[in-house]
Every structure is written in structure tokens, then in C-alpha cells.
């Protein structure tokens, strides 16, 4: 019996001489490993189906050692991401985050799937400064998982009257100086500003932004640390901070 899924290619590994194992992030089933048969052949019809970032419809059938892709239709290759080194590293970081995630419901998984597509489209087709899309992806992801980083008020006492703002890694939320814990880190004003601006800007409008120099990397390091603390997963992020 076969089934069709819409999925994004997270990564692929060679298997035997002409086959490949591919990790998909699908709307219907979440993250699944599948096999592409004969993909290394010169005239293979589904070469794109092993390509990182590729989004398409995969028809799967049960085999002896797992599910096999019997048919594939590319909906969007996101070719430009793979061809631009900075976009590639940023896109790879987004997929690395997805690979680490665990979903508590179908709704949560579907929301993240749509968020990934939105981020990849932004990265691929927009003229956006380095790491803006990745930062925006993190911000939206935390919000989806109930960890919204609200720069307008302290998450503990609710005050809006503060001069200093801290991220509390014990809770993953923002707090004023009176409410911060020993696991808190102060956010520089330029970082708070970058967080606020990115939170209030849609992916489609990121190309219009120019944040304070260096604030995007300072913010990204904080978001990475918050993710690693919240999800108990380490991120490699090769090339992102180079």
C-alpha cells in the first residue's frame, strides 16, 4: 500500500552503490527516513528528491527495510539557497533545528512545518542580511512552543517600567532586574531592539530591515543558548558565525 506526503528534505546519506537514505520532514508524518532506489544512476529520474531543502510530494511504499520512494514531484527546489554559501549555512541551521525538535501534537508539527517553508522562502527569494531569517525563525519557533520572548513587559511581575532586561534561561522568558534568577543574562539595548524589531516584522518584510551592526549575531547567540537549554539539544551551526 502506498501513501503520499508533502515533505522537505532535511539531509541524505549514501546507501549501497546507487541508493540513498533521506530524512524527510513531512506535514503528515513528521520526520521519517526513506530510501531512494537507483538515485545515483546517470539517468535517475528523482535526483532532486535527495537534495537538501527540496520541497515536494513523495509517494512512499513499505519495503523490507523501511519505506521506499516510488514517485516524486518537486514543488520547490529552493535552488538559490544551495548556490549561495551564506544562505546555505543559514538554511542548514534551520533544518538542523528541525532535526532536533520533538513534537507533542500533530498541530504543533504542522505549525512548525509551515514555519520552515516560510523561512526557506524568505531566505531563498529575499535579499535579506545575514542571519535575519534565522533569528526570525527562532523567535517564531519559541512562540509556537509557548515560550514567547516579550520585550514589552517582565514575564514575572508584568511591569513595563524597566531600564534593563534579562533572559532567564531557567524559564526561557524575559525578566526585569528585580525578577531575574541566577541563570539570567542581561540583554544589551541593541539586542533588545533587534529582538523587538524582528518580532514585529513579517518574513516578507525582512529585506527592508537594517539592524545595528553586530546585533543580529549577539541576538542569535542568545537564541541558540535558549534553544539548547529549553530543548536539551546542542546545535553545531557550522558556518553561521563565520
Q: How confident is the model at residue 79 (pLDDT cuts 50, 70, 90)?
A: very high
Q: Is residue 46 part of a domain?
A: yes
Domain with 11 in it = 2-76
132, HSE (Cβ side, Cα atoms, 13 Å): 26
Band (203; pLDDT cuts 50, 70, 90) = very high
Return the bridge partners of 30, or none: 26
Regarding whether 40 and 112 lie in a shared domain, the answer is: no
Is residue 237 in some structural domain? no
In a domain, 226, yes or no: yes
Task: Read off the DSSP letter of residue 42.
Answer: T
Question: Same structural domain for residues 214 and 103?
Answer: yes
Contacts 24+ apart (CB under 8 A), 78-86: 78/53, 78/54, 78/120, 78/121, 78/123, 78/124, 79/124, 80/124, 80/125, 81/53, 81/120, 81/123, 81/124, 82/51, 82/52, 82/53, 85/239, 86/130
pLDDT, tens only, 220-242: 999 999 999 999 999 999 999 98
Considering 18, 42, 76, which residue would you say is the last residue of a domain? Answer: 76
Is residue 66 predicted with pLDDT exceeding 90? no
| 32 and 100 part of one domain | no
Question: Cα(105)–Cα(220) distance, rounded to whole angstroms?
Answer: 27
One domain, residues 25 and 131: no
- Residue 43 is assigned to a structural domain of this protein: yes
Query: What is the domain-level CATH number for residue 199?
Result: 1.20.1440.120
Residues 120 and 61 in one domain: no
Q: How confident is the model at residue 192 (pLDDT cuts 50, 70, 90)?
A: very high
Same domain, 104 and 223: yes
| Sign of the alpha-carbon dihedral angle for 15, 79, 210, 114 | negative
- Are residues 16 and 112 located together in one domain of the fold? no
Report pTM. 0.95
25 and 142 share a domain? no
The pLDDT of residue 48 is 86
Same domain, 148 and 218: yes
147 in the same domain as 47: no
In the predicted model, what is the mean pLDDT of residues 143-149? Answer: 94
The 3-state DSSP class for residue 205 equals helix
Query: How many domains does one find in the chain?
Result: 2
Asked, for residue 96, whether it belongs to a domain, the answer is: yes
Q: Which of 44, 76, 108 is the last residue of a domain?
A: 76
Quickly count: other Cβ atoms within 10 Å of residue 180's Cβ: 20
Amino acid at each position: 500500500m502506498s501513501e503520499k506526503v508533502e515533505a522537505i528534505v532535511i539531509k541524505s546519506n549514501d546507501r549501497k552503490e546507487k541508493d540513498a537514505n533521506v530524512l524527510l520532514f513531512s506535514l503528515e508524518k513528521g520526520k521519517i527516513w526513506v530510501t531512494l532506489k537507483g538515485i545515483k544512476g546517470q539517468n535517475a529520474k528523482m535526483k532532486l528528491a535527495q537534495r537538501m531543502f527540496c520541497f515536494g510530494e513523495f509517494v512512499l511504499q513499505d519495503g523490507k527495510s523501511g519505506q521506499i520512494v516510488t514517485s516524486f514531484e518537486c514543488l520547490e527546489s529552493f535552488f538559490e539557497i544551495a548556490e549561495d554559501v551564506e544562505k546555505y549555512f543559514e538554511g542548514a541551521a534551520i533544518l538542523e533545528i528541525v532535526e532536533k525538535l520533538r513534537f507533542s501534537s500533530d498541530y504543533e508539527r504542522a505549525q512548525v512545518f509551515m514555519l520552515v517553508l516560510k523561512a526557506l522562502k524568505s531566505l531563498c527569494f529575499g535579499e535579506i542580511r545575514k542571519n535575519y531569517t534565522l533569528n526570525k525563525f527562532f523567535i517564531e519557533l519559541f512562540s509556537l512552543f509557548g515560550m514567547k520572548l516579550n520585550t514589552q513587559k517582565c514575564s514575572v511581575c508584568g511591569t513595563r517600567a524597566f531600564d534593563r532586561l534579562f533572559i532567564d534561561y531557567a524559564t526561557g522568558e524575559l525578566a526585569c532586574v528585580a525578577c531575574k534568577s541566577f541563570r539570567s543574562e542581561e540583554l544589551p539595548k541593541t539586542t533588545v531592539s533587534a529582538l523587538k524589531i524582528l518580532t514585529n516584522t513579517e518574513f516578507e518584510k525582512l529585506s527592508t530591515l537594517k539592524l545595528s551592526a553586530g546585533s543580529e549575531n549577539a541576538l542569535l547567540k542568545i537564541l541558540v543558548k535558549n534553544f539548547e537549554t529549553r530543548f536539551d539539544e546542542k546545535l553545531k551551526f557550522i558556518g553561521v558565525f563565520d
